[in-house]
Amino acid sequence: MAWLEAKGIAQAILDGFERHYRLFREISAGARQRFEDADWPAGQAAARARIDFYDRRVTETVAVLRRDFRLREANDPLWQQVKIEYQRLLPQHHQPELAETFYNSLFCRLFDRRYYNNRNIFIWPLISTEHLEAEIPIFRPYYPARDGFGRVIERILADLGFSRPFRDPRRDRRNLLRAIRQRFPPNRARFQNFQLAVLCSPFFRNKAAYVVGKAINGADQIPFVLAILNDEARGLYVDALLSGEEEISNIFSFSRAYFMVDTEVPAAIVDFLRPLMPRKGKAELYTAIGLHKFGKAEFYRDFLKHLRYSSDDLVVAPGIRGLVMSVFTLPSFPFVFKVIKDRFPPPKELTRDTVKAKYRLVQLHDRVGRMADSWEYSHVAFPLARFSPELLAMLRADCAGSLEIDGDQLIVKHLYIERRLSPLNLYLQSGDEEDISHAIGEYGNAIRELAAANIFPGDLLFKNFGVTRQGRVVFYDYDELCYLTECQFRAIPPPPYPEMEFAEEPWYSAGPNDIFPEEFATFLLTDPRIRRVFRERHGDLLDPAWWRARQAAIEAHHLEDVFPYPPERRFPPLPEAPGGASYQPRR
């Protein structure tokens, strides 16, 4: 009877996972129609809704187990038998790695963390995904040496299967041929195996479809992406050809929203992508395609392996210590760990739940390449011996309520993990004139693009922004973040008397949502070199009229374009439509 009960529980858990992945695929597949219809609000709503699918299915499945089975304690032999029976259901499954993670989520929802070990859950995966293949191949091969690049381009675009036509296929072909000649020298040796491999399913995000492929030439694999847009009136068009690891990695950045891509075998998609972006691990790539729960699981496995094969201490993260978060890092591991403090000193007027809500907002919102994504964890075990004395003292002083000692482990009850960046304030201190010019230009661009996405960072201090390996500036301190449309942007009124300009207190009142952009120069641009660059390149950000214009555009439901690739990669603009009305390309 115990065997039958274990088998029934295992099947119920797998049924819950398969319901989750069926709904996940349905909403992801719907991105194609939303793109062709240019229904951008529906696309954003679907992206937000999909993030919650996993937790909802876990909750539903827990309810089914509690209703249909007499669940006993986790140390009962029943649960080890359940895991064995569950394993037997997975060898022919097309998403076994995701199904294992779903099982872990169910178990962890039901039982205490002291039972989180490989006997009861899948700390380490048991089913290999290396040779998983979908019933329909995930990519198509093309042979330019045999058919010519012009014909291959036509076939790639036709094979995408869009029902909405391309508005000017000849133009697309000419632009792509020109870009190929410019970026890939014609005298480069072509080996016998020269071909293009293109993923069958486009990657949809916001207002664009991305076609991902690679050129195979000898031992080389050169990644490329076609960015396809919809002008909403005359059809689709190819906006850019991107190539090389750096450009492709930026498309898949941790600071961007998750893709919608329909795939039966996500492991095959990730295996295709990994050689194209070798600096990105499986955790980041699964997360990029919306499977962030498995990304979390895979990241933690990577971290456990790294701890085993390293000996450096966890230390306080470099930079100015914040008032809301305690941040630490492992120098040999390129991530930071952020723990909410027990108390927030003045002038912070926040609660713990408010801080968590801000991070939740960032996950649900379009990050436009300017806000760092986070993995949120509960009850994470670290080896106590790996904490530096300074870090341990800081955590005990600031975050004691989030800590628990269990033998030789320190348990952090709740934390966020993010990619480690160079704090912008430190970058500016150590940079030369060229570095400063680039970083301040990027800083202003980050503020502009966040505003386009209806986000105001709240606290614009340089310490709240970081610089990525590619030199992009990204915002990562969210406790003061709010929607742009919630702010009241005001000009500083003239003083009643001239001498009041020199008074210690301002002569004007300010409400809780009042923002005075003119003050940015006073508080941020104290270094003459920084002030000069900022005023030259982003002086309009000091004018409240600029901010009010952004608010008006958002309130008019205009979704601004923020391209995840450089302007120079875009093909020449579309010609004007008959009658003189020009069609503006949109992301």
How far is it, in rounded angstroms, from Cα 225 to Cα 212? 5
Q: Which tokens go with 359? A: 């991070």
Where in 136-189 does DSSP place strands (E)?
Answer: 139-142
Of 149, 165, 144, the closest CA to residue 228 belongs to 165
End-to-end CA distance of the chain: 58
What is the H or E stretch that residue 99 is in? helix 96-110
Strands, E assignment, 77-161? 139-142
Query: Tokens 């207190």, residue?
Result: 505
Helix/strand/coil for 227:
strand
- Token duo for residue 232: 């909403």
Nearest alpha carbon to residue 250 among 303, 288, 208: 288
- The catalytically annotated residue of 172, 262, 366, 373 is 373
For residue 71, what is the DSSP state?
A: -
| Spatial separation of the C-alpha atoms in residues 523 and 525, rounded to whole Å | 6
Q: What is the DSSP string of 483-521?
A: EGGG-EE-PPPPPSSGGGGGSSS-SS---TTEE-TTHHH
For residue 434, the SS3 value is: helix
Helix (H) or strand (E) holding 66: helix 53-68
Q: Which two tokens stand for residue 124?
A: 């380490």
Q: Quick one: which of 444, 440, 420 has its CA closest to 432?
A: 440
Per the annotation, the verdict on 231 as an active-site residue is: no
474 SS3 class: strand
Rounded to 5°, angle at Cα 493 from 464 and 534: 35
Q: For residue 372, which of 332, 335, 411, 329 has the smallest C-alpha distance? A: 335
CA dist 138 and 160 (Å) reads 12
Q: Work out the number of other CB atoms within 10 angstroms of the CB of residue 447.
A: 22
Q: Please, are residues 15 and 254 in contact by the beta-carbon 8 Å criterion?
A: no
Tokens of 263: 């795939």
Three-class SS of 370-431: CECCCEEEEEEEEEHHHECHHHHHHHHHHCHHHEEEECCEEEEEEEEEEECCEEHHHHHHHC
Dist. CA 175–CA 33, nearest whole Å: 26
Residues with catalytic annotation? 373
